[in-house]
């Protein structure tokens, strides 16, 4: 099951619990943490039985089913360096970058002779 589907079920159960029991849950944590989800499913089933909310029990069962079928996702395997070198050739390697050599001396900013500090060219803004 996709994480987005699990989050959608958790969000739907959250809305039902909020409307029917006044219970506020953390939707993202509900989809991510199996221990928290188990406790919320237990609470939802108990309240559905007490108050006669069939839809609350239905969505609690859906969330419980997502916890059972969730398997850990395997980590992606690292690619071999040879796979990247297939498209590179020895002639295509770039030469090392050297800093540019300045041919002119930097120009000093214009100063106001009366004040003695640089003045703005076009104003502040």
DSSP string, 104-116: SPPPPPPB-TTT-
Helices (H), the chain: 3-20, 27-32, 34-51, 54-69, 81-85
- The total number of residues shown for the chain amounts to 125
Query: What is the three-class DSSP state of 12?
Result: helix
Is pTM, for the whole model, over 0.85?
Answer: no
pLDDT of residue 101: 72
Query: Per-residue confidence of the chain (125 residues) as pLDDT tens digits?
Result: 788 999 999 999 999 999 999 999 999 999 999 999 999 999 999 999 999 999 999 999 999 999 886 445 455 565 555 555 555 555 566 666 777 676 677 666 655 555 566 666 666 66
pLDDT for 38: 94
Q: How far apart are CA 113 and CA 104, in angstroms?
A: 25
Residue 1 confidence (pLDDT): 79
pLDDT of residue 79: 58
């Amino acid at each position: 099951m996709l994480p987005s589907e699990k989050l959608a079920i958790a969000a739907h159960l959250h809305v039902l619990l909020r409307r029917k029991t006044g219970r506020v849950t953390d939707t993202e944590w509900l989809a991510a943490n199996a221990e928290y989800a188990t406790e919320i499913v237990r609470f939802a089933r108990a309240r559905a039985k007490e108050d006669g909310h069939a839809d609350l029990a239905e969505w609690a069962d859906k969330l419980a089913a997502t916890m059972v079928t969730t398997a850990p996702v395997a980590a992606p395997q690292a690619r071999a360096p040879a796979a990247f070198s297939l498209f590179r050739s020895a002639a295509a390697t770039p030469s090392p970058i050297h800093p540019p050599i300045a041919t002119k001396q930097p120009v000093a900013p214009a100063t106001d002779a009366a004040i003695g500090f640089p003045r703005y060219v076009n104003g502040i803004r």
